[in-house]
Structure 1
Amino acid sequence: MGNLLAAVVSAEAADSGQSQSYIERMFSSDGFHAPSIADFFPPAIFGDGTIFEFNRIMLVRVIAAVALLLVFWFVASRAKVVPGRFQAAIEFLIDFVKDEIVEPVMGHEGKRFMPFLTTLFFAIVFFNITGVIPFLNIASTSLIGLPILMAVWVYVLYLSEGIKKHGLGGYLKNNLFPPGVPKPIYLLLTPIEFLQVFILRPATLALRLAANMISGHLLLVLCFAATQYFFFEAAGAMKAMGAVTFVAGFAFVLFEIFVALLQAYVFTMLSAVYLNMALEAEH
């Protein structure tokens, strides 16, 4: 897009007998580079074009997973009756999942799903937060594959638990034929319920998470790419704009941390809701 704009400006300048314009210089190959969707498809580190392809985003995911395991290994191996600050912080988050998500949504049924939902919450936090970690700089969940994997994990669990409790026929009846509805309405309602239970729930879980992480990455890159451009390549008074974009970038870093935590909460909360709906006798 930048090269196309530069070519158009250059042609107009040639028609008017003018030299290279400021706009052309700004959008030239050595000027400002806006973020693009190509950021989410980095070149392969090895295995290019094979099923074993390994790229930068996969490396970030491995780092996040190893960090998650190390954090819990460290806390578990050094757990004390009177916790230190780090142990207390982890325990606070575990209690948050239990007190704010699992128990209010699932009640007594939630106890056996507590390990699953806690693991899900912490995994999403760690995979999301890589978007603001220096030298990683991209959320592991910003490529749709990982959110889909997590959504499928939830999907398989709530289907299997629902069928285990009610039987296949009972589960389908509870979800596709809600009680108290006039029978002719089922012609319209049942297809909608089928789409919701078997397609929309996992799809929206994955898409919501990925879309938020993609937009956050693009905003951060835009702000800091503009900061670099204004400080080091812009001329005259335009350099002062670098301070504005830097402050905006810092604000978006804080906001992205909040979004990373919020999306972990939303994903885990909806997972608990879907599990609870699968176990209920009627909806």
Structure 2
Amino acid sequence: MPAILASDVFTPPDVGLFDFPPLWSGAPYWLTKPVVLGLAGVAVLCVLAWAAFARPALVPRGLQNAGEYGYPFVRDQVARPFLGADADRWMPLLLSLFLLILLWNLFGVVPGLQFPVNARISFPVVFALIVYVIKIYLGVRHQGLKGYLTGLMFPPGLPKPLAIALFAPLELLYTFVTSPFTHAVRLFANMFAGHLLLAFFSAVGFWFVVEHPTLPGVPVGILSVVMAVLMTGLEIFIQFLQAFLFTMLAAMFIGGSLHPDH
């Protein structure tokens, strides 16, 4: 019985997809593809913003028109529901968060790039920590340390014994520990899982149709290609949704510190 060659065995993609060595031998350990994509995303966003609004026209066209659709979307759907009259003040932060996260996510479906930057946990963690520091700072500044902690632990209408025994410890744990963690992980996990699924269906399709075609295998490969196409459409929707949810939660956290009564 002939030995099975390693090339005859399909190896599905695994978490090794997310391990990137330095770009060249001797390069700093941190200079990897995700870092370059992250910096490129910032540069692209700055260039697009400059091109759209460096010379604004009374009747918007092209990039300015697209930008003027994006701004009211974030303002009306994210900022105003949680920040009210303070929405415009926080729009630079929220709009930048939304657009950069969305662009970094979309890199996952761009041919040649094909990696969502936020599938590396360090990037969402930085965003989440920025929002976390702003939230705590605003809460203490506007309510005082005692007022901020009291508002967290003893909401109006909740019996004090119940608050002391159950609600206060859970709320403190959530606010100071799990809140930034879950804020970051929600974005990271969705981008991680989506990229892995796309890679899996693409690899199966390539293997059974191109690399190792067989009579029973080709239909499986074609089905996998179709699934990869459908999953790409779904992934684009999820990429947009996760950028929206991350920014919405940021607005909610900031609004909760500015307006604790609401």
* Structure-2 residue corresponding to 1:266: 245
The alignment status of 1:195 with 2:173, answered yes or no, reads: yes
Q: Which protein shows a greater Rg?
A: 1
Q: CA deviation at 1:277?
A: 1.2
User: Which of 204, 215, 218 is matched with 1:239 structurally?
Assistant: 218
- For 1:228 and 1:63, the matched residues in 2 are separated by 29
Q: CA deviation at 1:46?
A: 4.5
- For 2:136 and 2:102, the matched residues in 1 are separated by 25
- For 1:125 and 1:149, the matched residues in 2 are separated by 15
Contact 2:207 2:213 in 1 (8 A): yes
The alignment status of 1:220 with 2:198, answered yes or no, reads: yes
| Structure 2 gaps, min length 5 | none
- For 2:116 and 2:9, the matched residues in 1 are separated by 26
Q: CA deviation at 1:176?
A: 2.0
* Structure-2 residue corresponding to 1:173: 150
* Structure-2 residue corresponding to 1:69: 46
Contact 2:154 2:160 in 1 (8 A): no
Contact 1:48 1:54 in 2 (8 A): no
In 2 relative to 1, CA 109–214 (structure 1 residues): closer, same or farther, beyond 3 Å? same
Contact 1:179 1:282 in 2 (8 A): no
Contact 2:51 2:63 in 1 (8 A): no
The alignment status of 1:277 with 2:256, answered yes or no, reads: yes
- Residues 1-283 of structure 1: matches in 2 within 5 Å? 18-20=1-3, 24=4, 28-29=6-7, 31-46=9-24, 53-185=30-162, 186-232=164-210, 233-282=212-261
Give the TM-score normalised by the residue count of structure 1. 0.86
In 2 relative to 1, CA 178–54 (structure 1 residues): closer, same or farther, beyond 3 Å? same
The residue matched to 2:134 in structure 1 has which SS?
A: helix
In 2 relative to 1, CA 47–158 (structure 1 residues): closer, same or farther, beyond 3 Å? farther
| Structure 1 gaps, min length 5 | 1-17
Give the TM-score normalised by the residue count of structure 2. 0.93
The residue matched to 2:156 in structure 1 has which SS?
A: coil
* Structure-2 residue corresponding to 1:4: none
Letter in 1 for 2:208: F
Q: CA deviation at 1:162?
A: 1.2
Q: CA deviation at 1:31?
A: 4.2
Q: CA deviation at 1:78?
A: 4.0
Q: CA deviation at 1:34?
A: 1.2
Deviates more, 1:240-249 or 1:134-143: 240-249
Contact 1:175 1:193 in 2 (8 A): yes
Letter in 2 for 1:160: Y
Q: What is the percentage of aligned positions where both structures have the same residue? A: 33
Q: CA deviation at 1:61?
A: 1.2
* CA deviations over 1:105-154 (Å, ceiling 9, x no partner): 22112221111111111111011111001111110000100000000010
Higher normalized contact order (CA 8 Å, seq sep 6+, divided by chain length) = 2
The residue matched to 1:80 in structure 2 has which SS?
A: coil
Contact 1:129 1:139 in 2 (8 A): yes
Letter in 2 for 1:156: V
Aligned residues, how many? 260
Contact 1:144 1:207 in 2 (8 A): yes
The residue matched to 1:236 in structure 2 has which SS?
A: coil
Contact 1:144 1:206 in 2 (8 A): yes
The residue matched to 1:88 in structure 2 has which SS?
A: helix
Contact 1:47 1:54 in 2 (8 A): no
